[in-house]
Amino acid sequence: METRVVKTKCWLVVLLCGASVSQAGEPAREFLDQLVDTQLYDVALDYLEQLQDSPLAPVRMKEIIPYEQGRILIKLSGLQRDFDMRERQLNRAQQSLQQFIDTRKGNPKVAAAESELGTLLEQRGTLQVLRAERPGNAQEKQKLLASARERFGEARGVFEKIQGQLRQKLKNYPAVIPTGTPEHQLREETRLQYLQTLLVAAVIQEEMADTYDEKAPERSKLLSEASSEYDSIYKNYRRFVAGLYARLYQGRVQKKLGKFPDAISYLVEILENEDNSDAFRSLKNKALLEAMDCWLDPSEEKYAEAIRQATAWIDSSRQNEIYLEDWLQLRFALARAHGSYSEYLEKKDPADPQIRISRDEAKKQARVVARFSSALKDDAQRLEARYGGRKYDPNKKPDPKTFAEAADAAKQATEMMRTQQLVLQTVPDQIEVETDAKRKEELVKQVENANKTIGLAREDAIRFFNRALELAESGTPPEEVNQARYVLSYLHFEKEDYYEAAVLGEMVARRFPGSSAARHCANLAMWSYRQLYDLNTTEDRDFERGRVMGAARYLSDHWADSSEGQGAVSQLIEFSIRDGKVSQAREYLAKIPEDSQARGPAELKTGRAIWYQFLRENQQLSRWQREGVVPAGIDPAARKQELTGLRDQAQQVLSAGIQRMRGKGSVDGVLATAALSLAQVYSQTGQSVAALKLLEDEQIGPLTLVRAKHAAVATKGFAAETYKSALSSYIGSLGSATSSQDAIGKAKQVMEDLNATVGATADGQTQLMSHYATLAKDLKQQIELADSAAKRQQLTEGFETFLQQVSQGATELNVLHWVADTFTKMGEALEAGNARSKNASRYFTLAIGTYERILTDGGQKDFELTPAVRDSFALQLAKCYRRVRKFTACMGQLESILKERNSLVNVQLEAARTYQLWARFPRKESLYLRALTGGRPVRGKNTVWGFQRISKVTYRHPNLRDAFLESRYRMSECLYEWAVALGKQDKQELKKKRLTSANKALLATVESFALDETWRPQYDGLLRKIQRASGKPVVGLPKQRQKTRQAQARPRQPVQTASQ
């Protein structure tokens, strides 16, 4: 159930349930009927559950519990605004009713259960209509309406079946039955049931007609058929109230058909009836409402008649009728009539004094409606605002002495504020089209006054609500006090006093969970804390984050089935993702029902988070395998299988979310971003054809939306990301059996689009280089994630074909750089882990050729290289030389950079790594010394530092912590590898000495510095190798090694990095 039952209500149910089951069955029946009559449906359902489990409950009552549950759930669903919850309640009702019908064949209530089942199907049809009318469902509207027609058809079929049964039953009665006899009473009851089924079936026919467009021939046909059915019912049963209702509905149908004179004649026939009983007054009220619509239609313009009839009827209202919803609807229709009449008169004679009289009357009637009708409040306030609203005098303020007086004063101030907010929503549009200068000036003054009034009224409302809470006594109804707190909390939220709003809202939610305001207060508290979190721009947001999570958990735990509760779960998902707890986010996602409106957006968020987790962990596994250092207890094969499952889950969740969201019809930024994410998943997992299908989708395709300049993709950077994904997918599709012949042409066009979108300025060119670098990584990832050698070959051949075509005759630096970078990444992908390939050297060689072309053509083509950019390309060229074992050429490039910029730490690391790798070759062991201590001296000073000096230079610089930890790691690794090489030469003493040094250096680092999750497994793996080579127990690092000294950053001369 949506809300928790108030404790006192629960206690009442327990007491009365105990009392009733200990007596006869009638008190139980009466108590249940009383609960239903007072609309305490949730209590009634709890009462039925207790009867079900009670051994003292009457047997006859127990037998019909499923029927009672079904009919009460149908009534409860009618009060539910949340469509998803309403659907679930109808599902429960249908299950209960069907269970009763199937298991109680001979029970007298079976016929009533079948009738309730028909009502339920009609409610399902109505729900589909409401879904279709909801904003954002344009694309799905016709499908939803078609579904509604099916439900209406099924419901009508049920009632037609019941009609046949009742008709036969009526025929079986004797023609003449003495009045007052039980048999005569049964026949009359049967006749009334039959009449009811006739009327309901006709109403369903009318509802079915309303699912068609206004000018559709099907609509006119069904309305005409409904009108004939109503006419038949009226003629045969005019002495019954139901027969007169048929006449009312016939008038309504004629109104829908645009036949206003006919409609008015039918409705006036009811209005002129002299019967003034309660039942008849309600009927007349409904008839007058329909007649008002006819008189106020622009084709009739019978405003004076509408005002005369409605004024007379309202003046005759009884004291108990004034604030009933039907009467307030009539009062609102009267307000509309006065407003329309004033506009009608203004067109004829702007100086007519009746104009002001009618507008004042329109505002007066609208004000009453706004105050007493929650359903019509917004419309009434909007109508009042249309005609200027009220003037607010801040000096005329009441001095309340009681809670009720203060609450009433606060409510009036709030209503004034709402009315003026509607002025701001409606009047600016009137100003735009107003041609009369004087009238336009009046409207401008209205806007200025509205802005001022809103602030004053809000402050007054806050003050009066606070006064009301001060005046509250022990006898003040708690529900009214909590409602006051809720509105006060909301006013603080509007005023952007988020902390005040949060504290007050959370207090009500936690201390009074049974209050009708509790759920709304909990929701308000959560969003207030969320506002505080978003507004906090510091790094310390733990307090706000904790409060958001706490409020969201409370809301989701107590009102899980509500839209607010599911929105809270969405917040829990988002913050779990922010904290890197993706598995927790998946658990929260499972709590949102499949048919919830919150499910789709939550799936999109969670799916993206799962995908990013897969990327991180897959890169980590690849690094472990590439470095040859897999942490103890990790099985690479099993880990790979887990990651495959994670990848598939990301695709599944994203795909489900997109299918769910695209069913809403409209496309927004969330859906477009999710579609792009799923396209990236497809592209990077070798499903390029599926990626392109999604990217080019006519409705939600990111590429389609970008080219159409759709508002949903106007976010900065979205177009560039889309073009990158499209380019990656077009290239990835090359070589596949289903690839398009013009894929290369499309890919080139996307490159042009990307260049035009990003590279128009100097800063844009820098961004463009970054985008191409990311694209190269994406293509590399496609190769790494390929599940077979054949797939890898297909991808690399397709990539190579396109890159060769693009590079031919290319003169743009960003294009040549991307080609070289992509060839490099292809080589890296093919030599990584278990995917090593002899073709890796081929792609490194192609990259070398492109980098050499960039460096040699620098001053002769369409681009000019700055020294820093030239050094960057020389570094990349050096790495490629090293990949193909051209160490001399590699060191030549690195030395040329370091001679000019010796303090580039990343280049120094590359030079030392090169010496280490070179030393691994036969008869090159002496180069380990250069890797450790440096080389290439100029005027007695080494150009290459070596790992030892790198560690000393980076020691006190927190921003170079990784460089420091790597240099220390490489020192121990060089000593270990040198020792192994000496052992092969049978130089055991030197081997032992190097191993001892390696062990000592590694442990000194571990004891002095904290190792993170990246470096600890590598240090542990290296120590195990050293221990094994030394003949010692292989135990690795201690599980809890405490650091004894922490490297701290102190003011020193900055050390340059490549970016500087």
**Sequence-separated (6 or more) residues with CB below 8 Å from residue 589:** 569, 573, 602, 603, 606, 653
For residues 712 and 723, give the distance between their C-alpha atoms in angstroms, rounded to a whole number: 16
Please report how the helices 840-856 and 867-883 are oriented relative to each other, as an axis angle in degrees rounded to 10.
160
Instruction: Give the containing element (helix H, strand E) for 535.
Output: helix 518-535
For residues 616 and 627, give the distance between their C-alpha atoms in angstroms, rounded to a whole number: 16
Burial 776-814 (b: 16+ CB within 10 A, else e): bbbbbbbbbbbeeeebbbbbbebbbebbeebbeebebbb
For residues 210 and 229, give the distance between their C-alpha atoms in angstroms, rounded to a whole number: 16
CA atoms lying within 13 Å on the CB side of residue 976: 22
Domain boundaries, the chain: 214-300, 313-387, 517-601, 770-876, 902-1060
Instruction: Give the containing element (helix H, strand E) for 936.
Output: strand 935-938
Strand partners, 944: 935
Q: What is the pLDDT of residue 264?
A: 93
Let me know: does 294 contact 264? Beta carbons within 8 Å.
Answer: yes
Q: What is the pLDDT of residue 823?
A: 87
For residues 1004 and 991, give the distance between their C-alpha atoms in angstroms, rounded to a whole number: 20
Let me know: does 531 contact 547? Beta carbons within 8 Å.
Answer: no
Q: What is the pLDDT of residue 735?
A: 59
- By DSSP bridging, strand 935-938 and strand 941-944 are antiparallel
> Residue 935 in 3-state DSSP?
strand
For residues 1010 and 453, give the distance between their C-alpha atoms in angstroms, rounded to a whole number: 61
The Cα-based distances of 333 to 297, 378, 415, 591 in angstroms read: 12, 14, 20, 45
Instruction: Give the containing element (helix H, strand E) for 581.
Output: none
**Distance from the Cα of residue 460 to its chain's centroid:** 36
Given the structure tokens 């006898």, which residue do they identify? 475
Let me know: does 379 contact 332? Beta carbons within 8 Å.
Answer: yes
For residues 837 and 823, give the distance between their C-alpha atoms in angstroms, rounded to a whole number: 14
**Distance from the Cα of residue 550 to its chain's centroid:** 20
Torsion sign across C-alpha atoms 507, 513, 516, 519: positive
Let me know: does 837 contact 792? Beta carbons within 8 Å.
Answer: yes
Burial 941-960 (b: 16+ CB within 10 A, else e): ebbbbbbbbbbebbbebeeb
Q: What is the pLDDT of residue 787?
A: 67
Residue in 732, 455, 845, 781 with CA at minimum distance from that of residue 616: 781
The residue type at 399: D
Q: What is the pLDDT of residue 627?
A: 67
Q: What is the pLDDT of residue 527?
A: 95
Residue in 355, 385, 353 with CA at minimum distance from that of residue 367: 385
Let me know: does 718 contact 673? Beta carbons within 8 Å.
Answer: yes
Q: What is the pLDDT of residue 22?
A: 38
**Sequence-separated (6 or more) residues with CB below 8 Å from residue 648:** none
Q: What is the pLDDT of residue 769?
A: 64
Q: What is the pLDDT of residue 450?
A: 84
Exposed, middle or buried, 139 (CB in 10 Å: 0-12/13-18/19+)? Answer: middle
**Distance from the Cα of residue 1010 to its chain's centroid:** 40
Q: What is the DSSP letter of 630?
A: P
Structure tokens at 428: 């600016």
Let me know: does 1020 contact 631? Beta carbons within 8 Å.
Answer: yes
Q: What is the pLDDT of residue 904?
A: 93
Q: What is the pLDDT of residue 396?
A: 65
Angle at 411 between CA 410 and CA 417, to 5 degrees: 90
Residue in 997, 937, 949, 993 with CA at minimum distance from that of residue 973: 997
Instruction: Give the containing element (helix H, strand E) for 938.
Output: strand 935-938
Q: What is the pLDDT of residue 897?
A: 94
> Residue 941 in 3-state DSSP?
strand
The Cα-based distances of 452 to 389, 390, 455 in angstroms read: 14, 13, 6
Q: What is the pLDDT of residue 886?
A: 94
Q: What is the pLDDT of residue 651?
A: 87
Furthest-apart CA atoms within the chain: distance in Å: 132
Angle at 804 between CA 802 and CA 809, to 5 degrees: 115
CA atoms lying within 13 Å on the CB side of residue 703: 24
Q: What is the pLDDT of residue 773?
A: 65
Structure tokens at 462: 């806050």
The residue type at 459: E
DSSP string, 219-257: HHHHHHHHHHHHHHHHHHSTTSHHHHHHHHHHHHHHHHT
Burial 318-355 (b: 16+ CB within 10 A, else e): eeebeebeebbbbbbbbbbbbbbbbebbbeeeeeeeeb
For residues 962 and 197, give the distance between their C-alpha atoms in angstroms, rounded to a whole number: 80
Let me know: does 277 contact 318? Beta carbons within 8 Å.
Answer: no
Q: Which tens digits make up the pLDDT trace of 920-937?
A: 999 899 999 999 999 888
Let me know: does 416 contact 392? Beta carbons within 8 Å.
Answer: yes
List of the chain residues with pLDDT < 50: 1-25, 834-835, 858-859, 1041-1060
Let me know: does 981 contact 973? Beta carbons within 8 Å.
Answer: no
Q: What is the pLDDT of residue 42?
A: 85
Given the structure tokens 């620098």, which residue do they identify? 858
Phi, psi of 348 (to 5 degrees): -85, -45
Q: Which tens digits make up the pLDDT trace of 377-405?
A: 878 878 887 776 665 555 667 788 899 99
